[in-house]
Every structure is written in structure tokens, then in C-alpha cells.
Amino acid sequence: MLTLESSIQYVKGVGEKRAGLFNKLGIFDVDALIHFYPRKYEDWTLSKTVKDAQSGEVISLRATMVTPVTEHMVRRGMTLYKCRFSDGESIINVTIFNNKYLAKALRLYEDYILYGKLEKALTYASMSSPKIEKAEAATGFHPVYSTTGKLTSSAISKIIKTALDNLPPLEDTLSSKIRQKYNLISLDKAVRQIHFPADNQEIESARRRLIFEELLTLQLGLFKLKGSKRKETSAAIHRDFTQEFVKLLPFTMTQAQLKAMNECVSDLKNRHPMNRLLQGDVGSGKTAVAAGLIYTVVKNGFQAALMAPTEILALQHYDSLNALLSPAGIRIELLTGSLKAKDKRTIKEKLINGETDLLIGTHAIIQNDVEFKNPALVITDEQHRFGVKQRAALACKGEGLHTLVMSATPIPRTLGLILYGDLDISTIDELPPGRQVIRTDVVDSRYRKRIYKFMKDAVSRGEQCYIICPMIDENDEDSLGLKSAEQYAEELSQGEFKGYNLGLLHGKMKPKEKENVMKAFLNGDVQILVSTTVVEVGVDVPNATVMVIENAERFGLSQLHQLRGRIGRGSKKSYCILISDSKSETAESRLMTMKNFSDGFKIADEDLKARGPGDFFGERQHGLPQLKIADMLQDFDTMRTAQQCAQEILMRDGSLSRPENKLLSQRIAKMFESLEY
């Protein structure tokens, strides 16, 4: 007998070699094996005759073998086996490549099911390397798994069958009450059916059950991570300093900013900690709102923290908040990974002694040894770059802290409800006045000369430019022929832009180097910045008015939108030029979306329509665990139901410690253990 914890090697038919291949697929034990679901199914039930089938159609065919196998050596290492089958009306010529084992196993005058693509010519029909099984053994649906190396789908299927035959019935993760309420079949049945379905209906009921369970597990995990919500806050804010704060600003806040500010402040005054998402398109002015909240908290006698996803961004926040808030007596420190150990120590000491009011930094500030004296507020900027786990770690810096996450990621509203399920949401839906619409053009590289001229004109007016190159992975064949930012900057500074001040920014540079380049760009010393997407988030240089993006087709639309948001931040007219030589229609229409739309949410919707949910989530920027069977978008309705069910379960058993929730608890741990910090 096997148990779920048994190593994959103990399953009959799995030797050391195969175990290695399973490991490659992320499967180490029997539990993972039986939860390794098919990608799709081949339907062997729809048996057709040659006469009824179209040429080129994939069919399953019941036929008798009518000639013996002949062997034809084409060249070394390539042998063809040929024979004929009859379906009673027509003759089918079958060719099998190299598979001696299969060829030898075929018996004259026996009945088989052939599955594959049928080619029909005028006088005969043929199938090339069809799958062949004995007629009586062929079942209805054949699962197709993701395979690796010599591990075929049918081998995986057989091994899963052996495992299930040698396991006791699976204990159910969901109580019978829940199963009844949501009309779900048992886990045992679902797992058997997902691997060995008799018909479509069995696939459906199995999928329904497994998707529900997966999404329920996800929702419970998220609720647990965000668990501190219902606690009382330890940092009650009594006084509102908004009026005092707005006087510090060099501009007047927009109505939308003020509204968001008020929503946040009324949260801060509440008995329970604030848990809010501040949403706003790039350039909408989220930082000012954050600054206002920091001011309010500090004036009430507490400390605040602000976490940014990159050092550049952290530094920029430090510079601008310092300029704004330190004249008002707020003491600010910057903690990043690249500081010397001694400086880090000093900063940490000041923090715990209460000599610092605001700590700004990268994820360095969520490390265990960073302790506050009396923290009240934690803000994460550009939150899409952080996983839920990081957010939770930051919230754990103090009991019942107020948290604000800021995001410009234009995710469609429906997804927001999932990703930020229990957060309150404030939206800044208005840009500061005086902003000009950025003009966007899509051109091919024949325009390069004119583009360079255009940039030079901008520079001569005292404005600045970005040139963005795609990130290059040297191991990636698709990247061949693309210039790295480094190479390109070198070429330009020797050639076209000789005598100009060029800066270079890419991910492999040391933080200090990046910082220096960014500073030089910010204060105008660098006129043209050649960069990879490291400038993508948040960076604010109002004097930059031109952005040229090379190989634009290689970027996601949301990414292009973020990039474009780096310009048009001042009052001057700004231009975004997308260079692409791609002839593909989809690439063209995607880039036209950029030309035609400036609203991030619209662009995201278009992107979603064009690419489908798989790709939209492809980059896994959401920081959620990977799902095996559910699809966050397609299974959205189930997600809502699962969310509701999760709430019901937690209402009765907040810590999930009751016996009926034991297995669920284990599932949550499993799902979330793969998340990285």
C-alpha cells in the first residue's frame, strides 16, 4: 500500500530514471502525482469511418489489421513500419516511425482503435504514426499530460492508475456539508475522474470540484495572510492634519486626491486598522496622498514606513518626501540593501529609539531586525511588484498596523476583487490639471534618422529623452539580433549622439551606479537615458518629454503603458515613439492600442481581450501562488463563490484548527509554501 507521502519512486513502474523525470515536473511524492492533472483529453469515443471523415481530421477509428507489418530502413536510425487496416469499407495505410515495440505487438486480423490525423487521397486513406490500442482496451477519453523527456502521457497515465489502485480512498478536504451545499463530488471521485473520465460529464464534475477546492484554498490562504484585519488597532489617530498638510504642497490637490485622502484619514481614525488599496493611473499623484497620511500619522506621534520595489524608486521617494516633509520637522531615513553595514545599524538604532519618523526603503525594511518604536502606518508603493507574502510581512511589523498599498497597475476591476479581495479601495480617477495628452506613434526602423533628429530638437530645447530597449536574455534564441542597452548606448554615444550626455541604466548595474545615473538624469546632466525596463515603475522626471521604445512589440501593453507614464509628467508636450519592425498583425494591432488609448484601465482591458487570461497573468506579477487547474479569470464566478465559502468557514473556525478543517489547512500550507519573499 502507498500513502500520499510516499516518494514517487515507490510507485510500481517508477525507477530511478523516471523518478528523476517526475521530479523535473515538480512531482516528488504520490500526493503531487495524483494532483498532476491532464492538460487536455483525446476523445476516443467519437469513432468514425473513413468515408464519413474529412481529410486532415483527427479521428478515432475502429479497424482490423489486414496485412502484416513490413520494415523499411530509410537511413540509419530511421526505420518505417508499414501495414494496412480496414474499417470494413475502406483501406487505411498506416506508417509507424521507429517504434519497433509497437510494430511487433500488432497482430494480423485483430481489431484496433487508431487515433490520429486521417489523410485522404483519391484512391486511398492513410494515417502517419497514429496512436494504436487494442479495441477492447481502448477507453473513452485519453488524458494528455505535460510531459518531459522520455516520460510520455500514456506512461504518466499508467503510473497514476497504479498509484490510485494502491492508495486507500482519498480522505476528503471538504466536509460533506460544504460538498452538499455547493453541489460538489467527493475528492476521491474527482481525482479518479479527472484522470480517467468516462465522458465529458465526468470531466466537468471533476473539474468543478477541483477548481472549487483550489480557489477555496487560495481564498482561505489570502484571508489568513491578511488576518490582522479584524484586530483592534494599536495606533489610534485622533487628529486630522490634512488642512495643515496641503499648505506644504507646491500645488493644489485635485478633488480626487482630496477624496482619497479623506477616505484614508477616516480609516486611520477608526478602531480597526486601515487596509486600503489606493489605485490611480500613472501620474495621478498617489505620492502626495501618501505624504499626507505620513504627515498625519507623524503629527499624531507615530512612525511610518514606505516600501518601494526598487532602489531607484525608494531613493526618489526619499528625495521628494525629504524636500516636502523635513521642513515641517519630519525626520526621514532611507534604508536600502546597498548601504554599508555600519550605516544600516545606525539607521536601525534611530528607528527603535524613535529618532526617525519615516523609514523609506526597499524590501530591506521588512527584515526581522528592523524594529520600530511606535509604528502606525505602512505604505507599499507599486504594490503589483510585491507578493502578498511581502505585504503581510510588512504588516507584521506591529500589531494592527494601518496599511495602504498603492498601485498603478491597471488590472481590470474583476481581477482587483480577487487580488485585493478584502481591501477597501480608493481610486484617483483624475489627473492633475495642465497635463497634455502624450502623442504616441508607431513606426518602423526606417524612421530612425528622423527620430534621432526629433530627439536632438527636444534636447536643444532643454528637454530630456528616454530610449528603452527590451531586456535581453542571452540564452533566449528570440533575442538574437537584438541590441542590449549597453551595446546600443555605446554605439549612439560614438555615433549619432556624439557630444551629447548619454546615461545608461540596466538591471545588472550596482544599486549605487544606478542611483548616480538616475540622479544625473533627474538634475539634467544626462540628456538622453538609454535604459531597460528598470525605469518602468514610478520614476518621475518631469523634464523628460520624449520616449523612444525599441522593439516595442516585445513588451506587454501594460508594461508599455507604465513606461509611457514616465513622460508627460510636466506641462510640456510629450511624445512616445514605438519602433517595431514586426510584420505580425497582432503586434501591429496591439501597438495601435497604445496609440489610440491613454487610459491604463482601457489598455488593460484591450490587452486582456487580445491575449487572454493566460498571458495576462503569464508574468506572475501578482505574487499569488501558481494554480494547477483553476483559471482566475475564466473561473471568476467560482472564485466569488469560493470567497463566500471561505468566509463562512472562517466565521465558524477562524484558526482552521477544527478536525474537519485539518486537511484544508494542510492544503493551504502546501499552496503557499512555494511563494518567495
* Chain contacts with Mg ion (rule: CB under 5 A): 538
Would you say 306 or 608 has its CB closer to Mg ion? 306
**Alpha-carbon gap, residue 185 to 189, rounded angstroms:** 7
**Alpha-carbon gap, residue 581 to 441, rounded angstroms:** 13
- CB 538, min distance to Mg ion, A: 4
- 303-307 β-sheet, strand order: 332-335, 358-361, 303-307, 375-380, 402-407, 275-280, 424-428
User: How would you write 540-577 as a 3-class SS string?
Assistant: CCCCEEEEEECCHHHCCHHHHHHHHCCCCCCCCCCEEE
**Alpha-carbon gap, residue 195 to 170, rounded angstroms:** 14
**Contacted entry of Mg ion, ligand ADP, none for residue 288, CB cut-off 5 to 8 Å set by kind:** ligand ADP
How far from the centroid of its chain's Cα atoms is residue 443's Cα? 29
- CB 291, min distance to Mg ion, A: 11
Would you say 217 or 284 has its CB closer to Mg ion? 284
Phi/psi of residue 74, nearest 5 degrees: -80, -50
> What 3-state DSSP class applies to 304?
strand
- CB 311, min distance to ligand ADP, A: 17
- CB 544, min distance to ligand ADP, A: 11
Would you say 398 or 538 has its CB closer to Mg ion? 538
Would you say 400 or 538 has its CB closer to Mg ion? 538
**Contacted entry of ligand ADP, Mg ion, none for residue 282, CB cut-off 5 to 8 Å set by kind:** ligand ADP
Would you say 286 or 348 has its CB closer to ligand ADP? 286
- CB 172, min distance to ligand ADP, A: 47
**Contacted entry of ligand ADP, Mg ion, none for residue 285, CB cut-off 5 to 8 Å set by kind:** ligand ADP
Would you say 173 or 562 has its CB closer to Mg ion? 562
Would you say 127 or 522 has its CB closer to ligand ADP? 522
**Alpha-carbon gap, residue 512 to 469, rounded angstroms:** 21
Would you say 264 or 442 has its CB closer to ligand ADP? 264
Phi/psi of residue 127, nearest 5 degrees: -135, 135
| Residue number, nearest CB to ligand ADP | 285
Would you say 45 or 543 has its CB closer to ligand ADP? 543
Helix 311-325 crosses helix 286-299 at what angle (to 10 degrees)?
A: 60
- CB 406, min distance to ligand ADP, A: 7
Cell 515536473 belongs to which residue? 25
**Alpha-carbon gap, residue 258 to 652, rounded angstroms:** 39
Helices marked H in 354-510: 388-395, 413-419, 448-460, 485-494
Residue 259: how many other CB atoms lie within 10 Å = 17
Put residue 285 in one of left, alpha, beta given phi > 0 → left and psi -120 to 50 → alpha. Answer: left
**Contacted entry of ligand ADP, Mg ion, none for residue 514, CB cut-off 5 to 8 Å set by kind:** none
**Contacted entry of Mg ion, ligand ADP, none for residue 383, CB cut-off 5 to 8 Å set by kind:** none
**Alpha-carbon gap, residue 417 to 287, rounded angstroms:** 23
- CB 323, min distance to ligand ADP, A: 10
Where on the chain is the footprint of ligand ADP (CB under 6 A)? 251-254, 257, 280, 282-288, 408, 432, 538, 540, 542, 569
**Alpha-carbon gap, residue 643 to 217, rounded angstroms:** 9
**Alpha-carbon gap, residue 30 to 8, rounded angstroms:** 5
**Contacted entry of ligand ADP, Mg ion, none for residue 283, CB cut-off 5 to 8 Å set by kind:** ligand ADP
**Contacted entry of Mg ion, ligand ADP, none for residue 280, CB cut-off 5 to 8 Å set by kind:** ligand ADP
**Alpha-carbon gap, residue 182 to 174, rounded angstroms:** 11
- CB 278, min distance to ligand ADP, A: 9
Would you say 357 or 382 has its CB closer to Mg ion? 382
**Contacted entry of Mg ion, ligand ADP, none for residue 126, CB cut-off 5 to 8 Å set by kind:** none
Would you say 351 or 408 has its CB closer to Mg ion? 408
- CB 599, min distance to Mg ion, A: 17
**Contacted entry of ligand ADP, Mg ion, none for residue 540, CB cut-off 5 to 8 Å set by kind:** ligand ADP
- CB 402, min distance to Mg ion, A: 19
**Contacted entry of ligand ADP, Mg ion, none for residue 416, CB cut-off 5 to 8 Å set by kind:** none
Strand partners, 441: 577
Amino acid at 467: I
Would you say 300 or 427 has its CB closer to ligand ADP? 427
- CB 296, min distance to ligand ADP, A: 17
Would you say 432 or 538 has its CB closer to Mg ion? 538
**Contacted entry of ligand ADP, Mg ion, none for residue 366, CB cut-off 5 to 8 Å set by kind:** none
Residues near 323 by Cβ (< 8 Å), separated by ≥ 6? none
- CB 520, min distance to Mg ion, A: 21
- β strands within 245-369, DSSP E: 275-280, 303-307, 332-335, 358-361
**Contacted entry of ligand ADP, Mg ion, none for residue 432, CB cut-off 5 to 8 Å set by kind:** ligand ADP
568, three cell numbers:
508627460
Residues near 91 by Cβ (< 8 Å), separated by ≥ 6? 66, 84, 85, 124, 125
**Alpha-carbon gap, residue 631 to 210, rounded angstroms:** 12
| Residue number, nearest CB to Mg ion | 538
**Alpha-carbon gap, residue 169 to 172, rounded angstroms:** 9
**Contacted entry of Mg ion, ligand ADP, none for residue 124, CB cut-off 5 to 8 Å set by kind:** none
**Contacted entry of ligand ADP, Mg ion, none for residue 303, CB cut-off 5 to 8 Å set by kind:** none
CA angle 607, 613, 617 (to 5 degrees): 90
Would you say 409 or 440 has its CB closer to ligand ADP? 409
| DSSP H or E segment with residue 191 | helix 187-195
| DSSP H or E segment with residue 483 | none
Residue 17: how many other CB atoms lie within 10 Å = 11
- CB 542, min distance to ligand ADP, A: 5
Would you say 228 or 310 has its CB closer to ligand ADP? 310
Strand partners, 326: none
- CB 370, min distance to ligand ADP, A: 24
- CB 156, min distance to ligand ADP, A: 48
Residues near 381 by Cβ (< 8 Å), separated by ≥ 6? 286, 287, 290, 306, 307, 308, 309, 313, 317, 406, 538
**Alpha-carbon gap, residue 260 to 253, rounded angstroms:** 11
**Contacted entry of ligand ADP, Mg ion, none for residue 569, CB cut-off 5 to 8 Å set by kind:** ligand ADP
**Alpha-carbon gap, residue 645 to 179, rounded angstroms:** 11
